[in-house]
Each structure stands twice: as structure tokens, then as C-alpha cells.
Structure 1
Amino acid sequence: MTITTDASIDISIEASFEVLPFTRTCRHIWEDGDHVLIGVSPGNSYFSAERVAALARWASERFAQVDFVYADLHVDRMFAAFGYTREHAERRAAKEIKAVRRRILKGVSESLDRYSGIRVRGLSEFQEDPVYKLLHRRVLHFLEADPEFRKGCERMALHFMGTKVPEGESITTEQLQVCFDYIAAELPFFVDTPSILDVPSSVSAYHVDMPLTEVLYARGGGLRAMRNQAYAVVRPEAPAREVPAATEGNGDERRAA
């Protein structure tokens, strides 16, 4: 699924990262610079210690507060649903979670010679937080009661987990449910990070488009991101591309970036 942004939103390229706020409001929140939350997935080679260090330095120059939150809930169940024995799934999940936490801490520590106050936490640390628990219950409610939201969650599950399904097979009901649980644990931070972390406004940043973003930020009803919650794709700056010269009689119609 291709997520479209407001055509009036320009793409900014700052330092070594490219920033694509999803809506005009998301851009305004980005410009406010109150807070950014960088979500990190275990087992994702994108989040090397070097990449985390670059993100930490870059984000600290632009935001008053920076949080890294990594997914550490339902990871063992994900492995089990895709064929691992329970014991092997638990060992593999523990290894992946430990590794991603180590990489984040290493990357952040490398940036602390200039920046401080960056927080690193797992999703499990919020399980008893009353605001997080309330938001999580809302997510689960809409997952059952809102067909459009559920379809968005299905697209997100297939987007991230489809490669793990053997060719010619479909994702099973059990696998889909585990994916839902994994996604639901993350979604409170896409809906209302300011209330969870007590910040004026917040940008949830990830390096790829999320299939649920359009549901949370673009539609008129159902589960919606709060007004002071933003989403932006933040990814390494693409190599500079050559721009062909305008031909006679045709102006350069590129939108300024």
C-alpha cells in the first residue's frame, strides 16, 4: 500500500537524514521540537550501533527530549508462531532483545560526549503505566470493533511478517493474532506519546512508511492520533540525483524540496 501525504507538505533533508512528516500538522509538531520517539525493532539490521549514534546526535540537535523505545513484548510468541519450539523461541527472543538493547545503549553512549538525557526503554517497562494501559485497551477495542482499523492492522502484519511465511502459504489465524498483539503493544506510542511520557508534543519516527499511518492520521473517525502527536518517516538521505535540464517550452515542474 502506498501512503500519500498532503501534496503541500515539502520534504526536508537535514544533515544526513531525510524527513517526511505525514501531514501539515505533523510538520508543525516536528518544527516545535518538543520530543521525538524513535522506535526500534529487534532483529532489524538497520539499527546498528553506528546508525543509532547518528540518530541520537541528529535528533538531540533538533528536539528538547529524545526517547528510544524498542519492542520487547510478544517477540517469543512471534518466533513460536512461525515454527520455533517454545524453548527455542524464548531463547531466540531473549537473544534478539538483548542484542537490540545493547546496540541502542552503545550508540547512545557514543553520542553522550555532546548530548545527555536520551532515554532508552523497552515496551515492557510501560505495561503498568496507567496511561499506556488505557491506550492499549483502546487499541484492542478498535481492533475488534472497527473494520477499517482491523484491515489496517492486517496490512501492517502482512507488510512486516509476510516474508516469514513460506512461499505458496498464507498467514495463519494464530500468526495473525500474534502479529496483532505485537502491533497493539506499539500503537499507544503512535496515538498519544505526549500523555504517556508527559511531553507537550511528540513525533513518532520510523525509517519506513507504516501501513496504519493513514488510518491514524488521515481519516475522520475511529481511533485517531491525538492533535499533539505526529508521525514522520526519518531515513538516511538518498544520494543526490542529477536533475535533467528543462527542455524548450517546458518549465521545471519539480516541487521544491
Structure 2
Amino acid sequence: MTTIATDIFTVRPYTSHCRVIEQEAQHAVIGVSPGNSFFTAETVTGLAHWAAERFARVDLVYTDLYIADMYEALGYSPDDARRKAVKNLRGVRAKVSNAALAVDPDGARVRAQPVSALTGRPEYRRLSRHVETLMTDDAALAATVAGLVDRFLRDKVTGRDATDRQREVCTRYILAELPLFIDSPAIFGVASSLNCYHQVLPLADLLYGPGHGLRASRNQGHGIIALTAPEDAQ
């Protein structure tokens, strides 16, 4: 497998405070989405190398919750949904695990793990409960999540309205990732952390905006990773 050169990755901190988090370089979370064509094996390994060169610790995290439920809600039979989820997750697990192993064979600084491995941690559970409460009490959060669900399902159920089941599962999928966007330093036990993704996080405006409600912690940052063409990186 050919590894992408790390000098073609760039990161754009979402706010000036996120830039401070980036410069502290204590920890990075690299989010890897299953089924997303951006995350080829070469790209994931390149990202792992890039992050390890810049941060003291790196966690490569992929979503593995509600995948089969999503497929079933979108019309697959239970057996087909399960098989498709298993195949999908097997692929992303291999990419992430191989990337971490290639960069840090001892696992001292670079780790690979699914979101499900984090759900037993007290801080993840605390943040999940906080989000659940705010989904009832915070109209801005509920509206933002509903908008994300609408946008996702619009491309999946063309020509008909989304069902309550589809909306419920899609909401669960989004909320399962939220603790990592809010306070990954608490979850991973680090002083500060930059959550990196190849797009702006869907709730970034809410998490890093002024006011009350759901907000990222003071030592949480967000960075948008760009993959430039080799000639652009020169």
C-alpha cells in the first residue's frame, strides 16, 4: 500500500481559540466515517502519520453504532442490513487499525478504536446524558439536530417522507458522536484536544458560538483537514 505524503495535509482551526488548541498539540481525534469514500486506506494511514508528527497523542475513532439499524430503517431486511453493516465496519476497522499499527506499532501514542469502545467511560456517559437532557430543554440543539436528520434522509428517501423510525435511528447516530465533539479531553484524559475531520462538524456553529446551551468545552477544539494536490502543497 502506498502512503500519502503528510505534507499534503493541512488543517484549518475553526476558531481562533481552536488554533490555540492546535498549537498546544496535546491530542488529536481523527474521525473516520464508515462508507465515506474520502477515507481510503492510503488517506487514513497518511492522516495517522500526519497527526503523529504534530500531536503528542492521537486517537483514530470510527463510528460503529446504529449502522445496521440505519440500513434496516432505510429499507434493507434485518439480515441484509446486518450483513451490510458487518462488511462496512470490517473495512473501516481494518483501515484504522492498520494505520495505527503502521505509525505506532506499540500503541503508545496512536490508538485506533470504535465509538462503542468509549461508551463505557464515565465521561462519555455523563456527556451523553447531558446531550439527552438538552435535546428536551434546548430548542436550538433540537432544531439543529432535526435539520441534520432532514438533510441526511432527504437524499436517502427521495420521493417519500421519512418515517418516524428513520428519523429516530438517524438522530441516535448523530447523538452517539456528540460527546466527542463536546469534550474529548475529558473522554481521553488529556489537557486539550483537537477534533479533526475533513468537513466542518455539522454542529460547529452551535458548539463554538456565543450563548448558553450545548457548547464545546474550553479545552476542546475543531480543525478541518484538507487534502491538497501535490503541486498545491509545494
Instruction: Compare 93-102 and 147-156 and name the one that shifted more.
Output: 147-156
Equivalent residue of 1:222, what SS?
coil
Instruction: Identify which of 201, 210, 214 aligns with 1:219.
Output: 210
State the partner residue of 1:251. Answer: none
Cα distance between partner residues in 2 of 1:240 and 1:195:
39
Equivalent residue of 2:200, what SS?
coil
State the partner residue of 1:38. Answer: 30
What is the aligned residue count?
A: 227
Cα distance between partner residues in 2 of 1:232 and 1:169:
36
State the partner residue of 1:206. Answer: 197
Counterpart contact for 2:101–2:107, Cα < 8 Å: no
Cα distance between partner residues in 2 of 1:208 and 1:52:
15
How far is the alpha carbon of 1:126 from its aligned partner?
Answer: 1.5
Work out whether 1:76 is the aligned partner of 2:68: yes
How far is the alpha carbon of 1:226 from its aligned partner?
Answer: 0.3
Cα distance between partner residues in 1 of 2:79 and 2:164:
22
CA RMSD of aligned residues (A): 2.0
State the partner residue of 2:97. Answer: 105
Cα distance between partner residues in 2 of 1:235 and 1:160:
22
Equivalent residue of 2:29, what SS?
strand
Work out whether 1:125 is the aligned partner of 2:117: yes
State the partner residue of 1:48. Answer: 40
1:156-179 CA distance string (max 9 Å, x none): 22344432222x323332211111
Instruction: Identify which of 175, 186, 198 aligns with 1:195.
Output: 186
Equivalent residue of 1:205, what SS?
strand
1:40-91 CA distance string (max 9 Å, x none): 1111121111001110111111100000111011111100110011121111
Change (3 A) 1:160 1:60: farther
Change (3 A) 1:164 1:227: same
Instruction: Identify which of 56, 61, 73 aligns with 2:53.
Output: 61
Q: Share of identical aligned residues, percent?
A: 39
| Aligned positions of 1:9-28 closer than 5 A | 15-28=7-20
Cα distance between partner residues in 2 of 1:116 and 1:45:
29
State the partner residue of 1:230. Answer: 221
Instruction: Compare 113-122 and 68-77 and name the one that shifted more.
Output: 113-122
1:114-156 CA distance string (max 9 Å, x none): 9962100111112221111110111111112211111211232
Instruction: Compare 181-190 and 156-165 and name the one that shifted more.
Output: 156-165
TM-score (norm 1): 0.82
Q: As a proportion of its length, which structure holds more helix?
A: 2
Residue identity opposite 2:12 in structure 1: L
| Aligned positions of 1:111-190 closer than 5 A | 111-112=103-104, 117-166=109-158, 168-190=159-181
Counterpart contact for 2:103–2:110, Cα < 8 Å: no
Q: Which sections of structure 1, spanning at least 5 residues, go unmatched?
A: 1-13, 242-257
Q: Which has the larger radius of gyration?
A: 1
